[in-house]
Amino acid sequence: MSQEQPLLDVSDLTIALKIGGKSINIVDGVSFRMNAGDRLGVVGESGSGKSMISLALMGLLPDVMQLEAGSIRFQGEALESASPARMRQIRGRDISMVFQEPATALNPVFTTGSQVSEVLREHEAISAREARDRTIELFRQVGIPAPERRITDYPHQMSGGMRQRVMIAMALACRPKLLIADEPTTALDATIQEQIIDLLAELQDETGVSVMLISHDLPLVADFAERIMVMYAGRVAETAQAETIFDTSQHPYTRGLIACAQGLELGAARLPTIEGQVPSPVQFPAGCRFATRCPHAVAQCDGVIPQLHPIGPDGHVAACHRIDELKTLEIAS
Amino acid sequence: MHRYILKRLLSAIPVLLLVSIAAFVLIQLVPGDAAAIIAGADASNDEVEFVRQQLGLDRPWPLRLQDWLVGLTHGDLGYSYILNRPVTEAIIERLPVTLSLAGLSIIFATVMGVALGVLAAVFHRSWIDAIAMTVALFGVSVPNFWFGLVAILIFAVGLGWFPPGGYVSPTESFTGWLQAMALPALTLGTASMGQISRFSRSVMLEQLGQDYVRTARAKGLSQNNVIGRHALKNAMIPILTVIGISFSLTMAGAIIVESVFSLNGLGRLMLHGIQRRDYPVLQGGMLFVAFSFVLINLLVDILYSWLDPRVRYD
Amino acid sequence: MTETTAFRSFSAKLSTKLSTAHWPLLIGGVIFALIVAAAILGPFLTPYGPEDTSLMDRFQGPSWAHPFGTDSFGRDILSRVLHGGHVSLGIGLAVIVISAGLGILIGAAAGYFPKLDNPIMRVMDAGEAFPTLLMAIALAAVLGPGIVNVILALGIAYAPRTARIVRASILVLSQQQFVEAARASGAGPVRIIALHLLPNAMAPVVVQMTFIFADAVLAEAALSFIGVGPPPPAPTWGNIIADGRTYLYSASWITMFPGLAIFLTVLSLNLMGDGLRDLLDPRLKKVT
């Protein structure tokens, strides 16, 4: 599985929010890698910075945000310093993205078919006819029935699930190396959510594209991803294989997430919660950002930021001062 | 879409009917003896009686209303004794002038207005934005008749680039027509241009913040494509409404501008009608304006449905 | 919420946001204040009356004796412009009072009583769609020229704009809880509207009034220019320009100065309107 050069190598990524003359780090020293054909899940609550990472990869950070430090190497090329023209080439062709809200992510005054054909014609020198044919094929591939008729539909004539399929078709049109899906199912009905994730898995198998699935929903991601990166308040809490995360993780935050998810699933009488709230970036504490909510916090946690360090095989890393202790103690939450 | 057009056409008919009746009623409200006024100040008693007979002013009003409405379907807008010709004829004769003026000024206002507004939005908070919006503000604040006079002073008299007034038909000389229409169209269009550009800016800003713009960028499309195609097409929908509203400003302003530049158009006809109390002309003219108004609104609605697919399939 | 808290929340919103970042409002306000001061005090300060003729001093260009020059009757243009300001600004004020009064009544009725809403708004739509100036001209033609007729014509013509805004605010506000509370305590519709709803709806109305004032000044000038406004010899900015038109090339100052006066007045009002709108609430941009 290891190759000469990882497809994506993000190292020490730091993104700052510049507002009113102040600079606040929204994403702090995040590092991770992806190889070709990987399925990486990025899990975190809102405010964890997970979406910002994807926007940074695409070069689509809003004006108020800036990449302060770190590097993004895609196929060996440094993206953080790439020219806007180069980024435009990469976007949609080598790295593409599926967004959360399909209702507003599609342009309401153009047909869905034309919006997919558009990305084909932007990056490849093909005729309108050929683009249309390929669009029909893409619609078929993402499971839209009667594709020849559907390509002339406008977004408002389609259901939410179908719109998201169009978004996926649009993202896969130019056969990118990396597909980023940022909360692709959050705005959809529960039954449709499963369908879309299944579709993503199927397409990933067929085309071999690397997929980064971002979500707050840990079980959903676990269904799909091989590796999971858990984020909290702009920093990585833990990264490991999916089964490891579920079965043997001892990181207090991860365990908290799992407990919440399982409580929901098992229909517990009283849903377990993680007490407290995610701190706002302005109020990030000096030490571990989870300390105030952590049942196992000690004095050291408040003062010193825990660094990501290996705690298991297969690249299992975690950031917690007490994680080795907790492993041996095997405390259940 | 055709069903939509048909629906709109049908709903325009009762409005037209209402407007016709309103025009009729308006004239009935004028104090004094209608026949005497229409015949003119220096008409003899016999002539006044003649007019009364001719216009059927001695008949009961329901019959007169009927006459009026029936006359309308034949394109008969009444007869002016002051001008000594049918109102319809007088209007048609002057229509090309007003159409040239209004048409050119709206084209100017729309093109300049949208361009300035889009530039201001794309270069939000830069000096381009500031200049564009200052121009717009000036356009909205300057009295059009004064602007016209100043323009004549500087460009026609001072520099001699354009004639100080008068109309040249495009069939006579196309360049002559453009030269004669340049200053008037500019004068008439300035206020609308200001309005349209201010509105375009805020609409574009809103569109540029929308999700679909982010998607378009994520597809690797060029800035020109994202702004000029994706965002602009959506922005044009509400902007079209403002363009439609600016027809009002244009029609009203035409009266003034025609007077300033000595153009013998519909506006001037109306003005003289007011000054000489030529009620048939006023009545017919107002009706004509109201009708064209309804038709233009209809056109805007149809254009709307062409731009916005969500309206079409309702 | 009681009446006092409704007022209090409005003024609180206003005072916390005032800062030097709001320069359009300040600049516009200063210019307008100067113009108003000139219009009110000016006539007392100039040595000439607006209608004092002097055949010796005809067609004098701008000089120390006559800063704005003289016209075809030897009348001092500066005095005429200052007096004209009196008239034009006075008309503008009267117009906004009338259109505000009418607009508030109609808009409140439409907003508060759902059954009245549709019919009222249809009439308003028709009124608003038809060109204001044309309506004013039509009314002036029917009623005859004169200051009162101009004020009435314009006041009625601008009422639909205000009505629409008042209605929009009332529709939103009447959903709020304090209205329910007031109704439950037995307050009648008039009391509810007047004391609870209107104070909170005033912000967009004030903004709109500023813009209507600007439009009214422009409209009155246009009407005067074509001879349908207040009759001569009383000077208004519009008819001074109309007088000067014949001598556009030979005595251009007659046209220039009143025109500048109109331009500056309308400009300052528009600036104030923009500034007020930004100040009071950016959300208002959708309503206004």
Answer whether A47's CB lies under 8 Å from A278's CB. yes
**Subunit contact B141:C227, Cβ cutoff 8 A:** no
pLDDT of C284 reads 46
**Subunit contact C142:B275, Cβ cutoff 8 A:** no
CA atoms within 13 A on the CB side of A93: 14
Q: How far apart are CA A298 and CA A318, in angstroms?
A: 17
Nearest-CA distance B238 → chain C (Å):
12
Closest partner residue to B282 (CB to CB) among C133, C141, C218 is C141
- pLDDT at residue B68 greater than cutoff 70: yes
Answer whether C23's CB lies under 8 Å from B130's CB. no
pLDDT of B54 reads 72
Q: How far apart are CA B137 and CA B115, in angstroms?
A: 15
Closest Cα in chain B to C134: B252
Chain B residues inside the 8 Å CB shell of C214:
141
Structure tokens belonging to residue A276:
């407290």
Residue B221 in contact with partner chain A when CB distance is under 8 A: yes
Q: How far apart are CA B286 and CA C142, in angstroms?
A: 13
Contacts of A71 (CB under 8 A, 6+ apart): A9, A10, A11, A12, A13, A78, A80
Closest partner residue to B217 (CB to CB) among A60, A108, A154 is A60
Average pLDDT of the residues in A241-246: 85
pLDDT of C2 reads 47
Residue C241 in contact with partner chain B when CB distance is under 8 A: yes
Chain B residues inside the 8 Å CB shell of C241:
145-146, 149
**Subunit contact A156:B309, Cβ cutoff 8 A:** yes
Closest partner residue to B219 (CB to CB) among A92, A104, A110 is A92
Q: How far apart are CA B55 and CA C95, in angstroms?
A: 38
What's chain B look like in SS3?
Answer: CHHHHHHHHHHHHHHHHHHHHHHHHHHHCCCCCHHHHHHCCCCCHHHHHHHHHHCCCCCCHHHHHHHHHHHHHCCCCCEECCCCEEHHHHHHHHHHHHHHHHHHHHHHHHHHHHHHHHHHHHCCCCHHHHHHHHHHHHHHHCCHHHHHHHHHHHHHHHCCCCCCCCCCCCCCCHHHHHHHHHHHHHHHHHHHHHHHHHHHHHHHHHHHCCHHHHHHHHCCCCHHHHHHHHHHHHHHHHHHHHHHHHHHHHHHHHHHHHHHCCCCCHHHHHHHHHHCCCHHHHHHHHHHHHHHHHHHHHHHHHHHHHHCHHHHCC
Chain B residues inside the 8 Å CB shell of C129:
245, 248, 293, 297
- B10-66 pLDDT, tens digit each: 777 777 777 777 777 776 766 666 667 666 667 777 877 777 777 667 677 777 777
Chain C residues inside the 8 Å CB shell of B253:
133
Q: How far apart are CA B73 and CA B84, in angstroms?
A: 22
Give one word for A276, left, alpha or beta, with left for phi > 0 and alpha for psi -120 to 50.
left
Contacts of B262 (CB under 8 A, 6+ apart): B165, B166
pLDDT of C9 reads 53
CA atoms within 13 A on the CB side of A176: 32
pLDDT of C3 reads 45
**Subunit contact B149:C137, Cβ cutoff 8 A:** no
Optimal mutation site among C32, C125, C133, interface B, most CBs of chain B within 10 A: C133
**Subunit contact B274:C218, Cβ cutoff 8 A:** no
**Subunit contact A58:B233, Cβ cutoff 8 A:** no
Helices (H), ranges, A142-279: 147-150, 160-172, 190-207, 218-224, 242-248, 252-266
Closest Cα in chain A to B233: A109
Q: Which is more confident, A315 or A135?
A: A135
Inter-chain CB pairs, A–B, below 8 Å? 75
Residue A237's pLDDT band, with cuts at 50, 70 and 90, is confident
From A129-138, B278-287, C76-85, the region with the lowest mean pLDDT: B278-287
pLDDT of A180 reads 95
Interface of B with C in 233-292 (CB under 8 A): 245, 248-249, 251-253, 255-256, 259-260, 270-271, 273-275, 277, 282, 286, 289-290
Buried b (16+ CB within 10 A) or exposed e, A56-87: bbbbebeeebebbebebbbbeeebeebeeeeb
Closest Cα in chain B to C248: B153
Closest Cα in chain A to B215: A105
Nearest-CA distance C285 → chain B (Å):
9
Structure tokens belonging to residue C32:
């307008």
Residue B212 in contact with partner chain A when CB distance is under 8 A: yes
- pLDDT at residue A44 greater than cutoff 70: yes
pLDDT of C10 reads 52
Chain C residues inside the 8 Å CB shell of B284:
none
**3+ Cβ–Cβ pairs closer than 8 Å linking B and C:** yes
Chain A residues inside the 8 Å CB shell of B225:
122
Average pLDDT of the residues in A283-288: 79
Answer whether B186's CB lies under 8 Å from B248's CB. no
Average pLDDT of the residues in B272-295: 80
Which H or E run contains C256?
helix C253-280
**Subunit contact B145:C221, Cβ cutoff 8 A:** yes
Residue A333's pLDDT band, with cuts at 50, 70 and 90, is very low
Chains within contact range of chain B (3+ C-beta pairs < 8 Å): A, C
Residue matched to tokens 């080439």? A89
Structure tokens belonging to residue A282:
């302005």
Residue matched to tokens 């990030």? A284
**Subunit contact B256:C131, Cβ cutoff 8 A:** no
Residue C26 in contact with partner chain B when CB distance is under 8 A: no
Nearest-CA distance B123 → chain A (Å):
13
Closest Cα in chain C to B272: C226
- pLDDT at residue A100 greater than cutoff 50: yes
Nearest-CA distance B219 → chain A (Å):
4
**Subunit contact B150:C138, Cβ cutoff 8 A:** no
From A329-333, B114-118, C72-76, the region with the lowest mean pLDDT: A329-333
Chain C residues inside the 8 Å CB shell of B140:
266, 270
Q: How far apart are CA A66 and CA A316, in angstroms?
A: 30
Residue B152 in contact with partner chain C when CB distance is under 8 A: yes
Structure tokens belonging to residue B255:
């009266």
Closest partner residue to A109 (CB to CB) among B218, B220, B309 is B309
Residue B138 in contact with partner chain C when CB distance is under 8 A: yes
pLDDT of B235 reads 94
Residue B140 in contact with partner chain C when CB distance is under 8 A: yes
The whole-angstrom distance between residue A192's C-alpha and the CA centroid of its chain comes to 19
- pLDDT at residue A226 greater than cutoff 50: yes
pLDDT of C149 reads 82
Answer whether B290's CB lies under 8 Å from C130's CB. yes
What does the mean pLDDT of chain B come to? 85
Q: How far apart are CA C109 and CA A143, in angstroms?
A: 54
Average pLDDT of the residues in B218-226: 93
Answer whether C97's CB lies under 8 Å from C111's CB. no
Q: How far apart are CA A44 and CA A218, in angstroms?
A: 8
Nearest-CA distance A231 → chain B (Å):
24
Q: Which of C213, C261, C207, C215 is nearest to C238 (CA)?
A: C261
Helix C253-280 vs helix C23-45: crossing angle, to nearest 10: 140
pLDDT of B10 reads 79
Phi and psi for B120 in degrees, rounded to 5? Answer: -60, -40
Phi and psi for B265 in degrees, rounded to 5? Answer: -110, -165
Give one word for A74, left, alpha or beta, with left for phi > 0 and alpha for psi -120 to 50.
beta
**Subunit contact C226:B202, Cβ cutoff 8 A:** no
Q: Which of B91, B76, B83 is nearest to B39 (CA)?
A: B83
Residue A179's pLDDT band, with cuts at 50, 70 and 90, is very high
Burial of A89 (0-12, 13-18, 19+ CB in 10 A): middle
Q: How far apart are CA A225 and CA A245, in angstroms?
A: 11
**Subunit contact B252:C133, Cβ cutoff 8 A:** yes
- B131-170 pLDDT, tens digit each: 999 999 999 999 999 999 999 989 988 888 888 888 888 8
Closest partner residue to C249 (CB to CB) among B157, B293, B297 is B157
- Counted residue by residue, chain C has a size of 288
From A34-43, A294-303, B48-57, C235-244, the region with the lowest mean pLDDT: B48-57
Q: How far apart are CA B139 and CA B194, in angstroms?
A: 5
Cis? peptide before B163, omega within 30° of 0: no
Q: How far apart are CA B158 and CA A221, in angstroms?
A: 76
Q: Which is more confident, A308 or A118?
A: A118
What does the mean pLDDT of chain A come to? 87
Chain A residues inside the 8 Å CB shell of B233:
107, 109-110
From A11-20, A205-214, C279-288, the region with the lowest mean pLDDT: C279-288
**Subunit contact C249:B26, Cβ cutoff 8 A:** no
Residue matched to tokens 């037995």? C186
pLDDT of B56 reads 67
Strand partners, A239: A229, A317
Chain B residues inside the 8 Å CB shell of A97:
218
Three-state secondary structure call for residue A25: strand
Optimal mutation site among C134, C139, C150, C211, interface B, most CBs of chain B within 10 A: C134
Residue A180 DSSP class: E
**3+ Cβ–Cβ pairs closer than 8 Å linking A and C:** no
Stretches where chain C sits below pLDDT 50 are: 1-4, 15-16, 20, 284-288
Residue C2 DSSP class: -
**Subunit contact C270:B251, Cβ cutoff 8 A:** no
Amino acid at C277: R
pLDDT of A196 reads 92
Interface of B with C in 293-312 (CB under 8 A): 293, 297
Closest partner residue to C270 (CB to CB) among B137, B145, B249 is B137
pLDDT of B164 reads 86
Q: How far apart are CA A130 and CA A173, in angstroms?
A: 13
